[in-house]
Chains A and B, each alone.
Chain A
Amino acid sequence: MKDNIVIVGGGIAGMEAARQLLKLGYNPIIVEKSDRLGGHVAQWHCLFPDMTPAKDVVSSLIEATGRANIFLNTEISFMNRLKDSYNIMLTNGVSVIAKVVLVTTGFSVFDAGKKEEYGYGVYDQVMTNSDLEHWFNDGNDDRIDGSEMNAIGFVHCVGSRDEKARNPQCSKVCCITAVKQAIEIKKRFPDAMVYCFYMDLRMFGKKYEDFYIAAQRDYGVRFIRGRVSEVSENIEGKVIVKAEDTLAGKPVKVTLDLLVLMAGMVCNPDCSTLAGMVSLQTDSDGFFKSRDNIADITSSSRDGIYYAGACTGPKTVPETLAEARSAALEIHSYINRL
C-alpha cells in the first residue's frame, strides 16, 4: 500500500510537492479550503521577471497532479498525533491516517483597508495590487474603465515594514511586483505618468535589476524615494498623494487618476489554527517557524510535519517551487527512515 501524505493547501507549493511525491510513489492527498487549485498565483496575470503567464504555471501543475487525491472546499477539522503517524479528520467527514503532513498554507494579502490613511475602500480611485492583477486578467474594473488614466501611482510597502500595521517584516516581492505592474500599466496607457513611491527598492533576484532598469529607461516609470503618508480626494474624485521626496528633501504632492497599493504578504490566519492543533511553533511575524532558517527550512519542530512555500515567510514563485521539491525529498527520506 502506498503511504498517505496529507498536503494542507492546494496552491503552487502544495501541487508541486504532490507532483514530486507522486513520482516518488506516494499517495498525496491535497486538502484545499477554496473551490479551486492554484491559490494566489492562479489569480495573478503574469510573473516577473520574464512575464510568464501565471495560468501556464498553474495549469501545468494541475495537470501534473491529476492522479493525486484532491479535496476542494475542505479544511482540517482536527489532527492528532498517533505513534508515528497523524490522524486527520477533514471537514467533509473523511478521516485519514498519514505518516507525514505537509503544510503549504501560504500567505494572506494584507488588508489594505487597515491602512486608513491610504483610503482603500473610502476613495473611489484607490485599489490594491491584487485588484490590479484581476483587472489585467479580466479587464473589468470601474476604477480603471470609467476614467481617463493620466497619472497613476504605486505605493510600496503597504502593510509591510510597518509596525503600525503590525508587520515589521519585508514582504520581499512587492518591490519587483510594483515594477512589473508599472510596466504593464505603462504598456496599456503609454501616455500616462506612472510613479512608484518607495522606501527602499529591494531588487534581489535574478534579472530583477534588469527589469528595474527597463522600467526606468524604456518605460519612463518615475521612482520617488518617499513613503506616502497621506491621501486625500479632490472634488473630481481624483486622489492627491502626499509624500516627501527624501532625495530632494522636499515634500511632494501629486494628483493621480489611480492609486495602487502594494499590499504585502502577511501570515495566513489559518496558521494559528493549525499550529494550535499539534502545537507547532509560529514566529513573531505569525508565520510558521522552521526548525532552522538556514539548514532546515522545510522541517517543523515536530516529526512528520513539513513546510513548503510562503507558510514560513514571504517567498517568490521559484523559491516556493524549489522548496516544495526539497520538502518532497525530505519527506521521502523521512519515511524511509521510519
Chain B
Amino acid sequence: MRERFLTGYNDFVLPFMIGMVFILTYCIIALIRIIGQLPKEDRRRFFISLITPKTLAKNIKDIFCDCLLHVKIWKRNKLLGYMHSSIAFGWFMLIVVGHIEVLLYTPHRAKLFYYPIFFRYFVAETETTMKGAVLFFLMDFFLLVVLSGIALAIIKRIRSKIFGMRRTTNPSFLDLVGLYSLWSIFPLRLLAEGFTADISGGSFLTKSLNYVFTSFLSDHANMLPSWWAYSCALGIFFCVLPFTRYMHIPSEILLIPLRNAGIKIRHARKGLAKAQVYSCPSCGLCIDACPMSVQKGNIKDTTVYLNRQIRRGNEVRIEEISDKCLLCGKCTAICPVGVEGDKLRIAQRSVRKYGLSPDYSSIDTASLAIDSRGKILYYAGCMTALTPSIRKAMESLLKKAGVEYELMDKDGGICCGRPMWMAGRFDQAKQMVEKNTGIIRNSGADTLLLSCPICYRIFKERYSLEGIRIVHHTEFIDSLISEGRLKIKRDPRKYVYHDPCELGRGSGIYEQPRNVLLRAGTLVEAAKNRKESICCGGSVGSLSLSFDKRKALTENALNNLTAASPDVIVTACPLCLSTFSRYADRKVEDIAETIDRNTSN
C-alpha cells in the first residue's frame, strides 16, 4: 500500500474535522460540567469507582453490551435489537478496523484524526498488499452490516409495528436533520469507496460497485465530490448531534459509570439527572410501557417527552408531566439506557416552591406508644384501614399460625412518609420517618409486618431500623407456610396475581406471592407481569390525575390481568384492591384473604 498524496491532506476533510472538533469540545465541556455538578461525596465515589477494578470491568462490560450490542433491546425484540446493534457495533468496528489499517500501512499518519475515516482516498493498492484482503473484507462486511441496519431504520420509520412498537416518538426538526444525516453517512461512504476501489482496493462490496460504476462512468471525476458528500454528512451529523436525540451516544458512555458507581439523583436538573436526560435516545419504548398511554391525550406525558422538555427548559410542561405520572416505575424498568423516569419526576417535584410547609413537630407520639417486645409489630397502613378485609384476614392468619403480634396503628398512626416523598417534599417525609422510627424502636419489636407496599418501600429504602426485620405480608405468609406453621389446602380456583408497582418493581418481590398462590390453587399469569406489570391506576404517585381520568387505566390493567381468564384476581396492595374491585367483572382479593380461606387450624 502506498500513499497517493505527499501531504496526506485534501480540503474535503474539513467538514468532518469541524464537526469532530466541535463535538469533542462540546462533550468534554459537558463532561466536566456534569461531574462538577455532582455533590462532593458523589464525585469522590465516582472517581474511586473508576479505579476500582471490579467496577471498571463492569463499566467496560456494560458499555460494550448496552452501547454497542444493545443487549436489552435484543431481549425485547430481535429485529429492533439487530437494527440498533448493527448500526452501533458495525460503525464501531469500521472505526476500529480503519485504525488498524492506518497503523499497519501508514503508521506515520496515525496522529491525523481524519486519516482512518478517509483512508481509502489517500492510498493506492500495490501488489504487496494482497495480505490486506482480510481487512478489506472486514471493512466491506461491517459496512454492509451498518447499511442493513439503516435499511431497517428506514422501514421502522414507516412501519414501527413490525418492531414490536405500537407508538414511537414524534421527532423534532433537529432530530430529523440528525436522522437524515446519519442515514446518508453510510450510503455515501459506500459510494465514495466504490468510486475509489479500483485505486485503493476493496472487497466484495466496494470492488463490485466499482465495476458497475466504471462500466458507464469512465473517469475518476466523481470520486472527489462523493468524498466531499461523505465528509459533509459526517460534519452535519456531528454538528447537530448535541441538539438531537443522538446526544445519547456520548452521554450513555458517561451514564453507565455513574450508575455503576451507585450515584443517585440528588438534583432535578444537575449531575446524574442531566446525564440521564441527555442519555435518552427518544426510542419511545416508554410510550407503550406507560400505563397512562391507553389514553391518547397522555402520550406526551411519558418519560421520553419529559426528557425532551427538560432539554428545552419548558418549565410549564415539565411541571405538568412530572405531576401527572403515577410513578409506577415501568418506564424505568424497561428503559434500555437506564433513564429513571420515576425518580427524575420526583426530583422535578422537589424543586417546587410552596407557600405552606407542613410541620409535624407538634404531634405527640406518646399516645401511639406500644409495647411489643418479643412480638411482631403489625403496621397495616393508612390505606388498609379502608380495606378492612386485608387486616382481618391477616390477623386471622397470625392467630392460626400462633404468631404473637401488636397493632401499631389500631386507631390510626402516622403516615409512613412515602406519599409525601413521592410529592417531592423530602423534609416533611423525613419528619414522619423519624416519628415512626421512634415508635418502632421504643416498642422493642424485632419484626415489623406491613400490608401496604407503599409503606414497605419507604421502610426498606429510607428508614434505618437495623436489627428489625421488615416484611411485607406476602413474604411473611410465604415464610409461615414454608416453616409449616400454616397448613394450606388447594381449591379448584384459577388465580392470577397482580404485581403491585411498589412491591414488584419498587421492592423486587415477585416470587413469594407466586409461591404462596401456587399452593392455594392454579396460578395463571397476566399478559404482562412481574417487571412489566401494569399499574392499577389508583396510585398515590400521581398528583394531578383526577379520579375520572383513571378509569381507562384501570380497565386496561384489568384486561391485561384477565387474559388467561382467571376466576380470581389476587393482589397484595390495599390500593390496587380497592381500585380493581371498583371496575372488575370478577372477584378481586388480597393474597391474605386467599390464604385465610384456604387454611384451617
Contacts and interface: CB of A to CB of B under 8 A. Distances in A.
Interface in B548-562: 548
Contacts of A116: 386-389, 577-578, 581
Contact of A122 (B388, B548, B577, B578): B388
A119 B387 CA distance: 8
Interface stretch (A44-52, A225-233, A322-330): A225-233
Nearest to B593: A122
B582 interface: yes
B548 A233 contact: no
Contacts, number: 37
Contacts of B581: 114, 116
Given A114-B582, A164-B582, A166-B582, A119 B388 contact: yes
Given A164-B582, A166-B582, A117 B388 contact: yes
B533 to A, nearest CB: 22
A123 interface: yes
A163 interface: yes
Given A114-B581, A116-B577, A163 B548 contact: yes
Contacts of A231: 388
B385 interface: yes
Contacts of A232: 385, 388, 410
A241 to B, nearest CB: 12
A233 B582 contact: no
A166 B578 CA distance: 13
B159 interface: no
Interface string A229-258: 111110000000000000000000000000
A121 B387 CA distance: 12
Contacts of B410: 232
A164 B575 CA distance: 13
B586 interface: no
Interface residues of A, number: 16
Contact of A117 (B387, B547, B582): B387
B582 A122 contact: no
Interface string B551-587: 0000000000000000000000000011001110000
Contacts of B388: 116-117, 119, 122-123, 231-233
B392 interface: yes
Interface in A190-233: 229-233
Contacts of B392: 122-123, 233
Contacts of A229: 386
A230 B386 contact: yes
B572 to A, nearest CB: 15
B370 to A, nearest CB: 16
A244 B46 CA distance: 54
Interface string B369-409: 00000000000000001111100100000000000000000
A285 to B, nearest CB: 15
Contacts of A164: 547, 582
Contacts of A123: 388, 392
Nearest to A118: B388
A119 B392 CA distance: 10
A163 B581 CA distance: 14
B404 to A, nearest CB: 15
A175 B542 CA distance: 36
6 contacts: A114-B581, A116-B389, A123-B392, A230-B385, A232-B388, A233-B388
Top 3 nearest A-B pairs by Cβ distance? A117-B386, A122-B389, A119-B388
Interface of A: 114, 116-117, 119, 121-123, 163-166, 229-233
